[in-house]
Structure 1
């Protein structure tokens, strides 16, 4: 390619220059096709549809993109005009172009112009775009392909601070004076800030941002205190864990400080439950100490529920020993076979209320005390609660209400009967309902002299109740039923007295069972009534008041009666 010299602002001619050739300013372009108005490199995607540039400004065709051009470099293209005008190819028709500008002539490889000729800027032959004005806006230089486009990096000291614009937020992370952002209260993102960024940010705040915050050592102090407190807490709990697992449980020394206190141990309480009750009352120092002392005592597991009188600040060993002694028991003990009339008096005395108070509550509110449905609404019953003040040990003390004490007893009886299956097994024993089964158990409890007698005694009851039995003809003839209605406990009773007293509870006068229980049977008596023997027993007698002898016939029984009378000189 021929190299054209630069001369006095003229440009080298090229046959494909849109400003010259066939058609002049407004005519047709060369056969090579439309040329880029910028004289640059051919378009990389020639198949893409061409878009018009600046619309249709004249009759001539506009120069288009994508036309292949020879690698001819302009020294200068579309420089600023001498009078501030800029030439656009294809602008207006040929005559309009001629009126605005003098005819350009080619002279010795350059453009000769008059006073209105465009002034050319020297360009870089290696730059296909030169330093032309922006195609879409005049006055904006194009640096592509020039040394200014990619200048060599400058030393940090000479760089201009032109930071990236930071997003505007309402939050101010605080100035960074060289401390780590964690101690400065800043965000973690500040850790990577360069000095240039920080200066720019400070400048930015100086132009209207938030004022700088003064930094102090409070943040560091708070962090130190938090970490220090955490370490201390871990150490404390670690020590407590060691003490709980391997150390001796805290304990008092001695038998107490002389200050008495009453504690109530609930039913079914284990060692830990008892220990918590005692600790809450100030008797022992720790639950673990009591559990350890109870386990170390051979009889420690026999501690029962109830009310105990102890002292405050006792050693665990002393507390266990005192609870095993009768001297500490302050419970109301209900013995097996006790009648309700006697129990009411015991409750009145323990609660220190007027005699007859508890009996009146029982008579008035018996339906509110927890009786099961099958134990209610039976005719001719002397006391609806008879048989439901279950024999056991109860914590009863001054200040309690009679109805609360009665409720606890009824609840204990109901739970026991339910556990033993009284309601389920009554019918299989030939009884009408569970109420009759409890009544049988009360007769067994009243007539038996020992637990070994209960099953045989139950068989006697069931055999005598049989309507066609050849021995008693359905009559029970138990002295205990007559004594119950008379509220007495006599042994020497005449047959004339027994057989002439008309009362539903008198089994010498009426066949079958009495209307209801005659006492409160214990668990063994109930078990005997549920599982009687099957040996054919009809009669029994106690010769010594401690054991009973059973027989199957009246003749055998009469021999034992004669023997008993002889021993008493009757």
Structure 2
């Protein structure tokens, strides 16, 4: 055994013996220093672990302080906000108000922003009173964008009733999923006061400087559904560019492929919007479209034919259905229509990107009131569904 090992061995086996012969050391006497290299290493490791434990304890203590502080701050902040609203109960006009004033609610504004603007305009006495009225009515998510006719010095409850009724909103263009370009532009011209011919000139100019290349010069399908403050817009170009820019941003956010694939998806999505009035069926309709395209079958969609004739599907005539010169006559023309046929919404676009699995080739909406639609891959069953719809139409 080497000298160092021998020294370590005896050092480990040795016991501390005091002057009185006891093996327990005197607490008043500091511990003896380590006598061997091994003891030194053990001593250092012990000291290092002790320091690590102290650091961990300190970190945990600081974290606990931060969490407790945040919780206390949150509760104080919530109590302060609640107290502010409570105190504002008296800071309200008795109404009914006087004079006339136009007030604009922008898309996406919340009750705080609206309340602040109402107070600045002299319509309500305090923003907090308006916020309380919204909260008490449970209408936070029902505030409508638009231009409203109000009065000065109104009671907050009365203002809330007006701002949550879409029938009172003026000056805002509302683009709904499934609306055609012509309808949107008619409404835009009417609400903005800009002559309809200015919008038409942009359409006939193929949207130069506004539309992306994949649109092929057609605005149909490229206007994003939503609310637009067209009353304050200076030109038709500004209005149309805003709607197109929002459409592009939305398509990007949904992950819609760019280029020709983007236009293709908009076409299929618009057919889904035009054919059924329940989003539950969008995925099946888009699958029917894909299945028919794969089999080189005409799509046979009446919504497409109706679009080509600028009528509603129920107004189609036998002459329209047999017109082979119409590029939108999907009963005789194969493939997708030349353009989308409306402005599809998010659900239809998602369905166009991800159709449901199925072998369906036909579908019929058998009840236009409920929107009930039946799908099949069998032509005989399709004829039965068609008869079911004819019976419904005869009785309604």
Deviation at 1:364, TM superposition (A): 3.2
**Mapped pair 1:506 → 2:329:** yes
Any idea what SS the aligned residue of 1:394 has?
strand
Deviation at 1:438, TM superposition (A): 1.0
1:471-519 C-alpha deviation (Å, 9 max, x unpaired): xx33212122222122111436466753542243332232211122111
**Mapped pair 1:403 → 2:237:** yes
**Mapped pair 1:274 → 2:114:** yes
**Mapped pair 1:361 → 2:202:** yes
Alignment partners' CA distance in 1, 2:281 and 2:319 = 28
Matches within 5 A, 1:427-442: 432-442=260-270
Kindly indicate which of the two structures has a greater share of residues assigned to helix: 2
State the partner residue of 1:526.
Answer: 349
State the partner residue of 1:318.
Answer: 158
Alignment partners' CA distance in 1, 2:224 and 2:85 = 43
CA RMSD of aligned residues (A): 3.0
Any idea what SS the aligned residue of 2:243 has?
helix
Larger radius of gyration: 1
Matches within 5 A, 1:208-357: 247-248=87-88, 251-330=91-170, 331-357=172-198
State the partner residue of 1:454.
Answer: 282
Deviation at 1:396, TM superposition (A): 3.1
Q: Where in structure 1 do 4 or more consecutive aligned residues deviate above 4 Å?
A: 243-247, 492-497, 566-570
Check 1:404–1:249 CA distance in 2 against 1; reply closer, same or farther (3 A cut): farther
Alignment partners' CA distance in 2, 1:494 and 1:284 = 56
8 Å CA contact 1:307–1:394 kept in 2: the answer is no
1:105-156 C-alpha deviation (Å, 9 max, x unpaired): xxxxxxxxxxxxxxxxxxxxxxxxxxxxxxxxxxxxxxxxxxxxxxxxxxxx
Deviation at 1:355, TM superposition (A): 3.8
Alignment partners' CA distance in 2, 1:265 and 1:312 = 16
Q: 2:381 aligns with which of 556, 559, 565?
A: 556
Check 1:405–1:276 CA distance in 2 against 1; reply closer, same or farther (3 A cut): farther
Deviation at 1:348, TM superposition (A): 1.7
Alignment partners' CA distance in 2, 1:433 and 1:289 = 51
Task: State the TM-score, normalized to the length of structure 1.
Answer: 0.50
Any idea what SS the aligned residue of 2:314 has?
coil
Alignment partners' CA distance in 1, 2:317 and 2:156 = 59
Alignment partners' CA distance in 2, 1:484 and 1:374 = 23
- Residue segments in structure 2 that go unaligned for 5+ positions in a row: 1-80
Alignment partners' CA distance in 2, 1:254 and 1:400 = 38
Matches within 5 A, 1:29-108: none
Alignment partners' CA distance in 2, 1:245 and 1:483 = 55
8 Å CA contact 2:105–2:146 kept in 1: the answer is yes
Check 1:386–1:568 CA distance in 2 against 1; reply closer, same or farther (3 A cut): closer
8 Å CA contact 2:367–2:392 kept in 1: the answer is no
State the partner residue of 2:35.
Answer: none
Task: State the TM-score, normalized to the length of structure 2.
Answer: 0.69
State the partner residue of 1:477.
Answer: 300
Any idea what SS the aligned residue of 2:342 has?
coil
Number of aligned residue pairs: give it.
311
8 Å CA contact 1:263–1:308 kept in 2: the answer is yes
1:37-94 C-alpha deviation (Å, 9 max, x unpaired): xxxxxxxxxxxxxxxxxxxxxxxxxxxxxxxxxxxxxxxxxxxxxxxxxxxxxxxxxx
Check 1:539–1:398 CA distance in 2 against 1; reply closer, same or farther (3 A cut): same
Any idea what SS the aligned residue of 2:356 has?
coil
State the partner residue of 2:68.
Answer: none
Deviation at 1:539, TM superposition (A): 0.6
8 Å CA contact 2:93–2:125 kept in 1: the answer is no
Q: Higher relative contact order by CA 8 Å / sep ≥ 6: 1 or 2? A: 2
State the partner residue of 2:364.
Answer: 541
Alignment partners' CA distance in 2, 1:299 and 1:246 = 18
8 Å CA contact 1:501–1:509 kept in 2: the answer is yes
Alignment partners' CA distance in 2, 1:365 and 1:311 = 44
